[in-house]
Amino acid sequence: MKKICKWLAFILLSSLVATATPRTSQDIAVSILAPLLDPVKIATLKGERPINGRLYRILGWLEIARLAGGDPLDVIDTAQAVAGYGGSNKALADRVALCHSWNNLHEFGCFTVEGVVTLKKGGSPTITRGEHAGEKVHIDHILPRSLVPELYDCIHNLEPIPSSLNASKGAKVGRSEVELARLWHGLGLLSADGLAAVESAGKLLR
């Protein structure tokens, strides 16, 4: 029954996509996700928080690729390789972040037909499960933008969370954020100045 429901969901989602859209998980990875993940293209984005809509689109297509039979990790790996940065430290960090973000949306019940359609358009889906049901999902910067503006448009520094949590979090920095900053600095994904800013903010909360 679960398998039947899965395929019915995929068929319904597919019917909402233009006929020219790739149908297999491999095609989705190569033709859609690779351009969306391409760091060179991301660096040229303009406007107010354009990376947020891009992340929503990535997560929506990742779910469609999964419904088409693809393993999310394999789909991400293929897309990153085609985008020209597969195997790099940045690719690894993005991979971890995307899996975490996809899991968040799954637990929030955002992968309904309506939710996936919204995500594909770069919109914020509505949470349908748990204590935050009814709230919109917002994209949060794990390390505050005010401290590390260099990570403003980096996928690995973004995660979808309930809107109420995003509003209450602010620019708080705890032990986990400091440890993450040190990890990213060691991987060459955060500058020395950025690390110092996070560590300094972390000390203020002790």
Q: How far is CA 122 from CA 59, 102, 138, in A?
A: 9, 15, 12
pTM of the model: 0.88
Terminal Cα distance for the chain, rounded: 52
* pLDDT tens column, 132-155: 999 999 999 999 999 999 999 999
Q: Which of 85, 105, 109, 92 minimizes the C-alpha distance to 36? A: 85
| Mean pLDDT score, 92-121 | 97
The Cα 205–Cα 176 span in angstroms is 13
For residue 146, give the 3-state DSSP assignment: coil
> What are the sequence ranges of the domains in the chain?
2-169, 172-206
Burial group, residue 3, by CB count within 10 angstroms (0-12, 13-18, 19+): exposed
Q: Which of 187, 166, 198, 191 minimizes the C-alpha distance to 95? A: 187
Confidence at residue 62, expressed as pLDDT on a 0 to 100 scale? 97
User: Over 90: is that where the pLDDT of 9 sits?
Assistant: no
In degrees rounded to 5, what are phi and psi of residue 134? 100, -20
Q: Which of 42, 47, 45, 79 minimizes the C-alpha distance to 61? A: 79
Share of the chain above pLDDT 70, in %: 86
Amino acid identity for residue 94 in this structure: D
The Cα 14–Cα 199 span in angstroms is 47
